[in-house]
Structure 1
């Protein structure tokens, strides 16, 4: 028996200025089904979901719900039609309480005359969070929650309104293993209740496991539908990228050696969520950091970048601080007199972000939208912001130099944008991540702290990023790779440090014998 169609798109089209993001897409979402939506970055997945949920206006074409035309002007219109969506970007607002974030835009629900019944709001917020098994004080600021907990608040908000269509846009990449298991359970429950789920993800194995059908998009166009019995990983990948992907995208070598020269070090470091951490990162090394949610690995990245204050120990970077304007003038004279001699690297105590940047340490956060990028700024401004010292010529930074620098990064990283003046908020997740990389690589940061660097990117972009990481290693860059994906750590790292309860539990060197099963026992 055929399942009932809840939502259908007919020639759905979206343009951003002259950029055609979605081109006449026809698609159906059925009740009692989990439908996957997959494609490379910039293929139009998130744009389609944004039109369905009222975040973007439709340029042309139509959407139908239960065979009736549906033209949402905003997310409230979508909510009235029983459509809820969890967005890829951060969907919470700083400095509001957890309860206020749960009912963002719907405060009128608790309004009586001119007053909001906050007590009732708190009770309902607590009830909403029970659905995602999050036990927190809802009166506290949302700022007290970590990235994953904030995403759970967004899921709770979406579920509170009992949606008939639940849209999940790249959300699982922000969650730990336990969080993924929870949202998979929620999706399966909705399916069993004869509701519809539209699941957008770059994790093909996850989609193949969870979904009943898949729709493949490429460059804004509908390519093909796959039913469950037709799922074939290689065939789906080929439809996504328009060509056959050959070989593995991880490193093929098992040479985990480096120069032996220490460039970055933590000595007896204790801080928020961390206990007596000791590690050394060498020149030309990829050092992987793994663990479960709450292990302290994400906090470690922030500590090494000077973004969390230490309670004990020290972080040392062995480098050369970026000179000031007057030091540059002195160096120019010095070069004329003594030649271009490079001084010995010396240990510098890293206590803040300014010192990190001055010593060519770059950091890409797991929560890139909040901590790495300025979403309302242009592609050019985001790329050049961390390279102002490099672009400085005797105290002046010209627009020509900025444009040249930005264009070099756009070209080398194949960033898809209408122009360098396009705002970053409008870009796909993969292109945002490329900008996160480019802003540090472009300013010659030789030490890179990368927290979940391939989160929310497709298989094609992942392949390029892994190749980029290996190329950087070969050029002598040093990379601290923090990831919840064990295969990523095994596939790319020269050494792996595993963490549990804020401490390092085990070290592994690159070897064919290292597998996920071996690693997991030191994480649980």
Structure 2
């Protein structure tokens, strides 16, 4: 009996004139975790989206256990034994947790044309309990849960029926360490049952630790498949980029004094049920980090600073005395913010790259002293900053919805680099970003710091907090737990001991 679970044969895909995949062929075996890696825009998500029915197969074949499959949608893919946990939100607002888990499979609970909602909720609650997600209730609307909890719901949705192939597309970057450990547990279970995981991640240590084999794509081309035990991080970087990746990664300076000049003060900020009595100062030219577990409240801090928490109490005050209570005031006073929930809060998916990059800067892209927009200025502005962030695109007229997750993030960052904001709040800035662009973002942050701009970086990636920040504030249960200064001796355990 063959060990091959899936044959990918001569798969090609175009988006307009842009070729996303070019005649890709390789095999995936039973009972293994096979990682799929490559730079942003290399074709990873395009390939797996076709396999799982999100995109339509243009040409080529997917052969699963000897049978040709061509799913037209995710429900059909599920019925053929293939499921996916997508990079962004994969749950539908307006539906309950149970309705999301059993979406497309509601017929299990329909008798004589009537849906047995009680039975559906009971089954969903049983699954949630089995998975250890007892804080999530089947009968509640999915909208009542935060980004990470909705990803946990997706784990249940994608795995409860024991698919032959589970695709995990950049999911770990959306999860805290506890959520990641839960996902790893289910990956191992799937492998032990003789089924297969296709694992997409830009975290190379995670790839090496959690996968059995690694397939590399570059610019829509298949490069190679290697055994994880036979390669190291540098080998993978070279295969992904096509050359050695050199130069600085994190900051190399230590012992620099933080400026005494305070540019922003947060005073006794409370958001009911999320953060309580949070106070701190942000200094000129400082990178201030925030870390914590998923429910620590650190993501709410970013929203509160940007005026996006409408039930906020307390004060966010600039050095000139301006109070930031809403988003227009924040933008008008040179504050930028990128959300962890990129698709819903940071980009307009069904608008062009040009529109997204130019949006916060429209006041500066007018004709002369008039208020009329200059479309030539908008076009040149978008081209300039899309190029600066190396966005892989057909042109700036392309819709953001057509971009890979990493390239969407580049558009978000291009928008605020173009705005030239003095205070930048970055929530999970490198989520879904490949190794080379991460390096570019870190160097850009360091350059901004040296120019006197102030950055707040909220991250679940402990090493980037340690590597980039002048100070790190740890939150626990919505309150400030402690503060750590930049030091060569600082390690992940120092942060974790404060978080738990």
TM-score class normalised by the smaller sequence: over 0.9
In the alignment, the residues of structure 2 paired with residue 244 and residue 20 of structure 1 have an alpha-carbon distance, to the nearest angstrom, of 25
Whether the aligned pair in 2 keeps the contact of 1:97 and 1:140 (CA below 8 Å) is yes
Match in the other structure for 1:322: none
Shift of the alpha carbon at 1:87?
0.9
> Aligned pair 1:11/2:10, yes or no?
yes
Match in the other structure for 1:390: 364
In the alignment, the residues of structure 2 paired with residue 436 and residue 415 of structure 1 have an alpha-carbon distance, to the nearest angstrom, of 10
More divergent stretch after superposition (78-87 vs 240-249): 240-249
Query: Structure 1 residues 401, 505: CA separation in 2 closer, same or farther (over 3 Å shift)?
Result: same
TM-score (norm 2): 0.96
Shift of the alpha carbon at 1:85?
0.7
> Aligned pair 1:412/2:388, yes or no?
yes
Alignment of 1:254-403 (within 5 A): 254-272=254-272, 273-309=274-310, 312-318=313-319, 346-393=320-367, 394-403=370-379
Match in the other structure for 1:337: none
Match in the other structure for 1:477: 453
> Aligned pair 1:197/2:197, yes or no?
yes
- Larger-Rg structure: 1
Match in the other structure for 1:325: none
Whether the aligned pair in 2 keeps the contact of 1:257 and 1:285 (CA below 8 Å) is no
Shift of the alpha carbon at 1:509?
1.8
Shift of the alpha carbon at 1:461?
1.0
In the alignment, the residues of structure 1 paired with residue 395 and residue 416 of structure 2 have an alpha-carbon distance, to the nearest angstrom, of 20
Whether the aligned pair in 2 keeps the contact of 1:5 and 1:30 (CA below 8 Å) is yes
In the alignment, the residues of structure 2 paired with residue 49 and residue 369 of structure 1 have an alpha-carbon distance, to the nearest angstrom, of 19
Whether the aligned pair in 1 keeps the contact of 2:52 and 2:74 (CA below 8 Å) is yes
What's the secondary structure of 1:374's corresponding residue?
coil
Query: Structure 1 residues 113, 373: CA separation in 2 closer, same or farther (over 3 Å shift)?
Result: farther
Shift of the alpha carbon at 1:3?
6.4
In the alignment, the residues of structure 1 paired with residue 375 and residue 217 of structure 2 have an alpha-carbon distance, to the nearest angstrom, of 38
TM-score (norm 1): 0.91
Match in the other structure for 2:406: 430
What's the secondary structure of 1:54's corresponding residue?
coil
Query: Deviations along 1:95-130, whole A, 9 cap, x unmatched?
Result: 222222222333344334554332222122223323
Whether the aligned pair in 2 keeps the contact of 1:216 and 1:240 (CA below 8 Å) is yes
Whether the aligned pair in 1 keeps the contact of 2:363 and 2:371 (CA below 8 Å) is no
Whether the aligned pair in 1 keeps the contact of 2:290 and 2:472 (CA below 8 Å) is yes
In the alignment, the residues of structure 1 paired with residue 255 and residue 352 of structure 2 have an alpha-carbon distance, to the nearest angstrom, of 40
In the alignment, the residues of structure 1 paired with residue 279 and residue 2 of structure 2 have an alpha-carbon distance, to the nearest angstrom, of 57
Alignment of 1:179-258 (within 5 A): 179-258=179-258
Whether the aligned pair in 2 keeps the contact of 1:21 and 1:220 (CA below 8 Å) is yes
More divergent stretch after superposition (168-177 vs 472-481): 472-481
In the alignment, the residues of structure 1 paired with residue 133 and residue 81 of structure 2 have an alpha-carbon distance, to the nearest angstrom, of 24
Shift of the alpha carbon at 1:247?
4.7
Taking only aligned residues, the RMSD between alpha carbons, in angstroms, comes to 1.6
Query: Structure 1 residues 492, 195: CA separation in 2 closer, same or farther (over 3 Å shift)?
Result: same
Match in the other structure for 1:133: 132
What's the secondary structure of 2:322's corresponding residue?
strand
Shift of the alpha carbon at 1:467?
0.8
In the alignment, the residues of structure 2 paired with residue 104 and residue 389 of structure 1 have an alpha-carbon distance, to the nearest angstrom, of 44
Query: Structure 1 residues 271, 453: CA separation in 2 closer, same or farther (over 3 Å shift)?
Result: same
Whether the aligned pair in 2 keeps the contact of 1:256 and 1:495 (CA below 8 Å) is no
Match in the other structure for 1:448: 424
Shift of the alpha carbon at 1:311?
5.4
In the alignment, the residues of structure 2 paired with residue 281 and residue 99 of structure 1 have an alpha-carbon distance, to the nearest angstrom, of 43
What's the secondary structure of 1:355's corresponding residue?
helix
Match in the other structure for 1:144: 144
1:439 to 397, 402, 415: 415
Match in the other structure for 2:91: 92
Whether the aligned pair in 1 keeps the contact of 2:352 and 2:397 (CA below 8 Å) is yes
What's the secondary structure of 2:498's corresponding residue?
coil
Query: Structure 1 residues 256, 112: CA separation in 2 closer, same or farther (over 3 Å shift)?
Result: farther
Whether the aligned pair in 1 keeps the contact of 2:34 and 2:215 (CA below 8 Å) is yes
More divergent stretch after superposition (251-260 vs 274-283): 251-260
Alignment of 1:102-121 (within 5 A): 102-121=101-120
**Equivalenced residues, count:** 496
Match in the other structure for 1:44: 43
Match in the other structure for 1:62: 61
More divergent stretch after superposition (252-261 vs 44-53): 252-261
Shift of the alpha carbon at 1:511?
1.5
What's the secondary structure of 1:442's corresponding residue?
helix
What's the secondary structure of 2:425's corresponding residue?
strand
